[in-house]
Amino acid sequence: MKELSIAIPASVVSDTPHLREKTSKVGLIGRTAAIFRVGEIIIYPDGPLEKLADEMNLIATLLAYIETPQYLRKRLFKLEPQLQYAGILPPLRTPHHPLDRRSRDLKVGEYREGVVLSRIKEGALIDIGVEKPALARNAQLVVGKRVTVRIVNGGEHLEAELANRDEVWAYWGYRVTVEERSLGRMLKARDFRLTIGTSKYGVPFAQIAGRIAEKWGQVDNVLVAFGAPAAGLNEIVAQEGFSLDDIVDFVVNTIPMQGTETVRTEEALIASLAVLNVALVDEH
């Protein structure tokens, strides 16, 4: 399955001074990522790292909180100021956020996210969001660790076995990466097989959709990068001494003839991923 990654700048919430509005904006980003099956959200510094560290940590914490199934959040997140307005975050309603809460409703072969509660002689007990923990036999796991499991016995003696997220057939959420390297250096260092930069100065998508689709069908991972409220990708990478055309495969304008002077990052995210989804859905 192809993995889609997105790169967003640390200053994406810089134009919203209040924590409540920042939380709402990050919630929209997380929800959009889930709608379009993003596998990784990369937060990159688009300025001095020491000045952006708090914003990066806030964005990462909120994105991770949204992605975590509701029944595991109290076990994985402490009460902290960053989550003061977590109640306004939208639910993802993805396959790994199930609503059923009874063990009798579980099916053998079903996947769940869980947290290791304790280690016992037979293995480990794991909270998977029902009224009793599941036993993972012979599993040597760290207490408090989040794991993906497959149900092997949904009866009175609830049992599960560890599973790899890659084997799950459905979309299983995104992971959050806080990148200390600047965007240009990150792109140079990581092995993305197709990279797309979004910019109002890019080529209108319709003009290069065929070329993108051809490469899209040949690769197993794709990165789409987005600029900041105060500076586009061209300006951001120019500060590093790079030309955007030299470090990405395509520079694309997904909103040609935009009616506003600027497009916010979260708006560009929705527009760009929607365009890619419609144009390249057969290759996804």
A 10 A CB-CB count for 167 gives 10
pLDDT at 146: 97
Tokens representing residue 192 in the block: 């993305």
Superfamily of domain 103-167: Nucleic acid-binding proteins (2.40.50.140)
User: What residues contact residue 101 under an 8 Å CB cut-off, 6+ apart?
Assistant: 71, 129, 130, 131
Tell whether the torsion through CA atoms of 278, 279, 281 and 284 is positive or negative. negative
pLDDT digits (tens, 9 = 90+) for 208-220: 999 999 999 999 9
Q: Is 201 exposed, middle or buried (0-12, 13-18, 19+ CB in 10 A)?
A: exposed
Mean pLDDT of the chain: 93
pLDDT at 210: 93
Band (283; pLDDT cuts 50, 70, 90) = very low
pLDDT digits (tens, 9 = 90+) for 241-259: 999 999 999 999 999 988 8
pLDDT at 260: 87
pLDDT at 230: 85
Q: Is the pLDDT of residue 284 over 80?
A: no
Q: Which of 81, 88, 36 is nearest to 61 (CA)?
A: 81
Q: Is the pLDDT of residue 47 over 60?
A: yes
pTM above 0.85, yes or no: yes
Instruction: Write down the number of H helices and E strands in the chain.
Output: 8, 11
Alpha carbon separation from 8 to 37, 149, 162, 245, 263 (Å, rounded): 16, 30, 32, 18, 14
Residue 135's H or E segment, with its range, is strand 134-137
Q: Is the pLDDT of residue 282 over 60?
A: no
Fold exhibited by the domain 3-92+173-283: Alpha/beta knot (3.40.1280)
Return d(Cα 126, Cα 42) in angstroms, integer.
29
Bridge pairing between strands 134-137 and 123-127: antiparallel
Return d(Cα 109, Cα 89) in angstroms, integer.
31
pLDDT digits (tens, 9 = 90+) for 3-38: 999 999 999 998 888 999 999 999 999 999 999 999
pLDDT at 1: 72
Contacts 24+ apart (CB under 8 A), 96-102: 96/69, 96/168, 96/170, 96/172, 96/173, 97/69, 97/70, 98/69, 98/129, 100/130, 101/71, 101/129, 101/130, 101/131, 102/130, 102/131
Residue ranges of the domains in the chain? 3-92+173-283, 103-167
pLDDT digits (tens, 9 = 90+) for 152-166: 998 788 999 999 998
Q: Is the pLDDT of residue 236 over 70?
A: yes
